[in-house]
Amino acid sequence: MSLKIGPWQIETPLVLAPMAGITDRPFRALCRQMGAGLAFSEMVISETRLWNSRKTSTRLEISGEQEPVSIQIAGNEPAMMAEAAWENERRGAQIIDINMGCPAKKVCNRAAGSALLRDEGLVRDILQAVVEAVEVPVTLKIRTGWDRDNRNALSIARIAEESGIQALSIHGRTRADAFRGKAEYETIRQVCQASSLPVIANGDIDNPRQARDILDETGAAAVMIGRAVFGRPWIFREIRHYLETGEILPPPDSDELLQLIPEHIAAIHKFYGPAQGVRIARKHIGWYLARFAHGENWRKRIVRLEHTEEQLNWLSLALESLLGEKSRVA
C-alpha cells in the first residue's frame, strides 16, 4: 500500500497532519524519522507581504527537510493564494497543500479554512488559480462539510478533481463540529468510491488497529494522524509495523526515550533560539510527561524554567526518575 501524489510515490501511507504551533520543522523531522511517509507544514497565510514576521518565517523554513517537502497555505483570494503557492515553490516546496479544513474561528472569520466550503464557486476559483500557478502537485485538505445538514465533501471532491488537485485529505467532521464528538468515516468512504483522487482519511485515528480498520472501511490511500501524535511521535512506527506485519509493537524502551525526547527538545532550542525555544518546548515536554503516572509533578517544575540547559537537565532528571519507576508509556 502506498500513496502517489504527482511524481511522488509515498511508500508509507501515513501522513502527519498540518497543525499550527505543532508541526514545525523539528517535529516534522522527528515524525518522518519515526515512520511518517509525508509531513505537511504548519499553515502559512497567503499574504506574502506578512511573511517577514518571526512566526511565519519559521513556518516557511524548509532547508534540509526530507523530500517531498510539503507546505500548506491558507487564504480566500485566488490571486493571493496563487502567488503564495508560486513563492513557496520557488523556495523549494515540492507539494503545495491548500487548507480548507481548519475550523478555527480566527481563520473562518476571514472566510478561509473550512469557511470556504460554503462557497463552491470560490473553491473552484482558488483551486484552479493555485494549480495553474505552479508546476508541483497541489493537494487539498477539507472537512466533510460546513455542518451536518450540509455535508458537501462529494461535491468539493468533484471540483478538486476537475481543477487538477492531486490528492485530497478529509477530516471526518464538519466545520460546525470543530473537534467535538466522534469523527465519521462514511462520507470519506463515499468520496473514495466516487473520486479517482487518492484520499487521505483523517480524524480520531490513535492506534494501529483503528488505522487498519479505517483504511479497509473507507478505501482511503492513506491515513493522517493529528492530535494522537502529541507526545507520541512513535505512533507512526507502531501503525507502520502493524500494517506490514499485523503485530503490535511494544512502547519505546527506557534507553530510546532517554535519547529521543531530549534530542527533540534540543532541536527545538536550536531551531527557534534559546528564549523562544524554551517556551515552545514546554508543550511538547508536557505531552511527553503526561504519559507517565507521576509526570505532572515534574511538568509543573519544568515549565517555570527559563534557560535551555536548565530545561534539558531537569527533563533528563524527570525521565530518569519516571522510567526508574517503570511507569508505563502509552
What is the distance of C-alpha 72 from the center of its chain?
10
Q: Are 284 and 269 in contact (CB under 8 A)?
A: no
Helix (H) or strand (E) holding 133: helix 120-133
List phi, psi (to 5°) of 141.
-115, 130
Q: Are 166 and 138 in contact (CB under 8 A)?
A: yes
List phi, psi (to 5°) of 8.
-95, 125
Catalytic residue among 31, 102, 108, 192: 102
What cell was used for 311? 530545561
31 is catalytic: no
Q: Are 187 and 129 in contact (CB under 8 A)?
A: no
Q: Are 199 and 218 in contact (CB under 8 A)?
A: yes
CA distance 214 to 137: 25
Q: Residue 269: how many CB atoms within 10 A of its CB?
A: 21
CA distance 207 to 238: 8
| DSSP conformational letter for 72 | E
CA distance 127 to 129: 5
Query: Which residues carry out catalysis?
Result: 102
